[in-house]
Protein backbone atom coordinates (compact mmCIF):
# COMPACT_ATOMS: atom_id res chain seq x y z
CA UNK A 1 0.00 0.00 0.00
CA UNK A 2 1.33 3.42 -0.95
CA UNK A 3 2.78 5.62 1.77
CA UNK A 4 2.13 9.27 0.77
CA UNK A 5 4.98 10.48 2.99
CA UNK A 6 7.64 8.50 1.11
CA UNK A 7 9.87 10.09 -1.51
CA UNK A 8 10.94 7.82 -4.33
CA UNK A 9 14.72 7.29 -4.02
CA UNK A 10 16.81 8.38 -7.03
CA UNK A 11 18.32 4.91 -7.31
CA UNK A 12 14.84 3.43 -7.71
CA UNK A 13 13.84 6.14 -10.23
CA UNK A 14 16.94 5.43 -12.32
CA UNK A 15 16.10 1.75 -12.41
CA UNK A 16 12.34 2.01 -12.83
CA UNK A 17 11.49 5.12 -14.85
CA UNK A 18 13.29 4.21 -18.11
CA UNK A 19 11.64 0.77 -18.13
CA UNK A 20 8.18 2.24 -17.52
CA UNK A 21 8.62 4.82 -20.30
CA UNK A 22 9.85 2.11 -22.66
CA UNK A 23 6.86 -0.12 -21.91
CA UNK A 24 4.31 2.69 -22.28
CA UNK A 25 5.90 4.15 -25.40
CA UNK A 26 5.96 0.75 -27.14
CA UNK A 27 2.59 -0.63 -26.01
CA UNK A 28 -1.02 0.35 -25.65
CA UNK A 29 -1.78 1.88 -22.24
CA UNK A 30 -4.14 -0.95 -21.25
CA UNK A 31 -1.63 -3.66 -22.24
CA UNK A 32 0.93 -2.54 -19.66
CA UNK A 33 0.43 -3.84 -16.13
CA UNK A 34 2.28 -3.70 -12.82
CA UNK A 35 3.37 -7.34 -13.13
CA UNK A 36 5.10 -6.60 -16.47
CA UNK A 37 6.69 -3.42 -15.06
CA UNK A 38 7.96 -5.41 -12.07
CA UNK A 39 9.31 -8.25 -14.23
CA UNK A 40 11.11 -6.00 -16.69
CA UNK A 41 12.52 -3.54 -14.13
CA UNK A 42 13.43 -6.10 -11.48
CA UNK A 43 11.54 -3.99 -8.91
CA UNK A 44 9.10 -6.05 -6.85
CA UNK A 45 5.42 -5.20 -7.06
CA UNK A 46 5.49 -4.69 -3.27
CA UNK A 47 8.10 -1.96 -3.70
CA UNK A 48 6.08 -0.41 -6.55
CA UNK A 49 2.94 -0.29 -4.41
CA UNK A 50 4.94 1.17 -1.54
CA UNK A 51 5.54 4.31 -3.63
CA UNK A 52 2.68 4.27 -6.18
CA UNK A 53 -0.97 3.39 -5.73
CA UNK A 54 -1.45 2.12 -9.31
CA UNK A 55 0.13 2.01 -12.74
CA UNK A 56 -1.67 5.30 -13.46
CA UNK A 57 -0.11 6.91 -10.40
CA UNK A 58 3.29 5.61 -11.51
CA UNK A 59 3.11 6.83 -15.12
CA UNK A 60 1.58 10.21 -14.24
CA UNK A 61 4.29 10.76 -11.61
CA UNK A 62 6.96 9.98 -14.20
CA UNK A 63 5.37 12.22 -16.84
CA UNK A 64 4.87 15.11 -14.43
CA UNK A 65 8.47 14.93 -13.22
CA UNK A 66 9.82 14.75 -16.76
CA UNK A 67 7.61 17.45 -18.24
CA UNK A 68 8.45 19.65 -15.24
CA UNK A 69 12.07 19.47 -16.38
CA UNK A 70 11.10 21.43 -19.52
CA UNK A 71 10.32 24.43 -17.32
CA UNK A 72 13.60 24.12 -15.45
CA UNK A 73 15.58 23.94 -18.70
CA UNK A 74 13.60 26.80 -20.23
CA UNK A 75 14.44 29.19 -17.41
CA UNK A 76 18.10 28.84 -18.34
CA UNK A 77 17.44 29.18 -22.08
CA UNK A 78 15.53 32.46 -21.83
CA UNK A 79 17.39 34.04 -18.90
CA UNK A 80 18.44 37.56 -19.86
CA UNK A 81 16.59 37.56 -23.19
CA UNK A 82 14.54 40.68 -23.98
CA UNK A 83 13.14 40.10 -27.49
CA UNK A 84 9.72 38.50 -26.96
CA UNK A 85 9.71 36.91 -30.42
CA UNK A 86 13.01 35.18 -29.68
CA UNK A 87 11.77 34.16 -26.22
CA UNK A 88 8.78 32.43 -27.81
CA UNK A 89 11.00 30.82 -30.44
CA UNK A 90 13.30 29.56 -27.67
CA UNK A 91 10.36 28.19 -25.68
CA UNK A 92 9.16 26.20 -28.70
CA UNK A 93 12.70 25.05 -29.48
CA UNK A 94 13.37 24.07 -25.85
CA UNK A 95 10.13 22.11 -25.66
CA UNK A 96 10.67 20.23 -28.90
CA UNK A 97 14.36 19.67 -28.17
CA UNK A 98 13.41 18.15 -24.81
CA UNK A 99 11.02 15.72 -26.53
CA UNK A 100 13.66 14.89 -29.17
CA UNK A 101 16.01 13.92 -26.32
CA UNK A 102 13.22 12.10 -24.45
CA UNK A 103 11.05 10.43 -27.11
CA UNK A 104 9.57 7.99 -24.59
CA UNK A 105 8.12 10.93 -22.68
CA UNK A 106 6.68 12.47 -25.87
CA UNK A 107 5.10 9.22 -27.06
CA UNK A 108 3.73 8.29 -23.66
CA UNK A 109 2.34 11.75 -22.88
CA UNK A 110 0.87 12.57 -26.30
CA UNK A 111 0.09 9.18 -27.85
CA UNK A 112 -0.25 6.39 -25.25
CA UNK A 113 -1.89 7.84 -22.15
CA UNK A 114 -5.66 8.28 -22.32
CA UNK A 115 -6.20 12.00 -21.72
CA UNK A 116 -9.36 11.37 -19.72
CA UNK A 117 -7.40 9.41 -17.11
CA UNK A 118 -4.66 12.05 -16.85
CA UNK A 119 -7.11 14.95 -16.63
CA UNK A 120 -9.05 13.18 -13.87
CA UNK A 121 -5.81 12.54 -12.00
CA UNK A 122 -5.41 16.28 -11.49
CA UNK A 123 -1.82 16.99 -12.48
CA UNK A 124 -2.48 17.18 -16.23
CA UNK A 125 -1.98 20.93 -16.44
CA UNK A 126 0.99 22.00 -14.37
CA UNK A 127 1.03 25.57 -15.67
CA UNK A 128 4.81 25.55 -16.10
CA UNK A 129 4.66 27.16 -19.55
CA UNK A 130 2.53 29.98 -18.22
CA UNK A 131 4.90 30.44 -15.28
CA UNK A 132 7.85 30.70 -17.67
CA UNK A 133 6.14 33.10 -20.06
CA UNK A 134 4.22 35.29 -17.62
CA UNK A 135 7.04 37.82 -17.02
CA UNK A 136 8.16 38.10 -20.67
CA UNK A 137 4.53 38.42 -21.82
CA UNK A 138 3.86 41.08 -19.17
CA UNK A 139 6.93 43.06 -20.29
CA UNK A 140 5.96 42.65 -23.96
CA UNK A 141 2.48 43.97 -23.20
CA UNK A 142 3.98 47.00 -21.42
CA UNK A 143 6.27 47.67 -24.40
CA UNK A 144 3.39 46.96 -26.81
CA UNK A 145 5.45 44.38 -28.72
CA UNK A 146 2.58 41.85 -28.82
CA UNK A 147 -1.01 42.38 -29.81
CA UNK A 148 -3.33 43.49 -27.01
CA UNK A 149 -6.08 41.49 -28.73
CA UNK A 150 -4.43 38.13 -27.94
CA UNK A 151 -5.01 36.94 -24.39
CA UNK A 152 -2.57 34.97 -22.25
CA UNK A 153 -4.92 31.99 -22.50
CA UNK A 154 -4.87 32.18 -26.30
CA UNK A 155 -1.07 32.28 -26.32
CA UNK A 156 -0.98 29.09 -24.22
CA UNK A 157 -3.63 27.48 -26.42
CA UNK A 158 -1.52 28.15 -29.52
CA UNK A 159 1.55 26.75 -27.79
CA UNK A 160 -0.28 23.55 -26.82
CA UNK A 161 -1.97 23.16 -30.21
CA UNK A 162 1.32 23.43 -32.07
CA UNK A 163 3.09 21.04 -29.69
CA UNK A 164 0.33 18.43 -29.83
CA UNK A 165 -0.08 18.61 -33.59
CA UNK A 166 3.64 18.37 -34.34
CA UNK A 167 4.23 15.51 -31.93
CA UNK A 168 1.30 13.59 -33.47
CA UNK A 169 2.66 14.20 -36.97
CA UNK A 170 6.18 13.26 -35.89
CA UNK A 171 4.91 9.97 -34.46
CA UNK A 172 2.65 9.28 -37.45
CA UNK A 173 5.62 9.78 -39.79
CA UNK A 174 7.67 7.26 -37.77
CA UNK A 175 9.82 9.89 -36.03
CA UNK A 176 12.03 10.35 -39.11
CA UNK A 177 12.57 14.03 -38.43
CA UNK A 178 13.59 15.90 -35.30
CA UNK A 179 10.72 17.72 -33.61
CA UNK A 180 12.86 20.84 -33.21
CA UNK A 181 13.26 20.92 -37.01
CA UNK A 182 9.50 21.51 -37.35
CA UNK A 183 9.62 24.91 -35.63
CA UNK A 184 10.36 27.03 -38.74
CA UNK A 185 7.32 25.46 -40.43
CA UNK A 186 4.91 27.13 -38.03
CA UNK A 187 6.71 29.72 -35.96
CA UNK A 188 6.24 32.67 -38.33
CA UNK A 189 2.52 31.90 -38.43
CA UNK A 190 2.45 31.82 -34.63
CA UNK A 191 4.28 35.15 -34.47
CA UNK A 192 1.95 36.68 -37.07
CA UNK A 193 -0.93 36.11 -34.63
CA UNK A 194 0.95 37.71 -31.75
CA UNK A 195 2.68 40.69 -33.27
CA UNK A 196 0.96 44.09 -32.94
Whether residue 103 is contained in a domain is answered as yes
pLDDT at position 16 over 80 = yes
Asked if 128 and 68 count as a contact pair (C-beta separation under 8 A), the reply is yes
Whether residue 4 is contained in a domain is answered as no
Number of domains in the chain: 1
Asked if 50 and 4 count as a contact pair (C-beta separation under 8 A), the reply is no
* pLDDT single digits (tens) 55-114: 999 999 999 999 889 988 998 889 999 999 999 999 999 999 999 999 999 999 999 999
Instruction: Report the CATH number that the domain containing residue 60 is assigned in CATH.
Output: 1.10.357.10
pLDDT at position 167 over 60 = yes
pLDDT recorded at residue 129: 61
Q: Mean pLDDT, to the nearest integer, of 24-42? A: 96
Whether residue 184 is contained in a domain is answered as yes
pLDDT recorded at residue 182: 92
Of 94, 90, 193, 185, which is closest to residue 136 (Cα–Cα)?
90
Categorize the per-residue pLDDT at 156 as very low, low, confident or very high, splitting at 50, 70 and 90: confident
Number of H helices, E strands in the chain: 10, 0
* pLDDT single digits (tens) 97-154: 999 999 999 999 999 999 888 777 766 655 566 677 788 888 899 999 999 999 998 9
Asked if 126 and 109 count as a contact pair (C-beta separation under 8 A), the reply is no
Structural domain harbouring 24:
10-194
Of 128, 133, 135, which is closest to residue 67 (Cα–Cα)?
128
pLDDT recorded at residue 33: 96
How does DSSP classify residue 126? -
Whether residue 3 is contained in a domain is answered as no
Whether residue 90 is contained in a domain is answered as yes
Categorize the per-residue pLDDT at 37 as very low, low, confident or very high, splitting at 50, 70 and 90: very high
pLDDT at position 8 over 90 = yes
Whether residue 46 is contained in a domain is answered as yes
Whether residue 18 is contained in a domain is answered as yes
Amino acid sequence: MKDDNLTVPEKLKNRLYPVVLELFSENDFHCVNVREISRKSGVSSGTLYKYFSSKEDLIFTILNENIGRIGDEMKHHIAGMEDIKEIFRKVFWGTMDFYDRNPGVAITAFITVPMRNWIREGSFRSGMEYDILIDPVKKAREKKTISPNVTDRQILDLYYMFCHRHIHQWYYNRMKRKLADSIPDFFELFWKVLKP
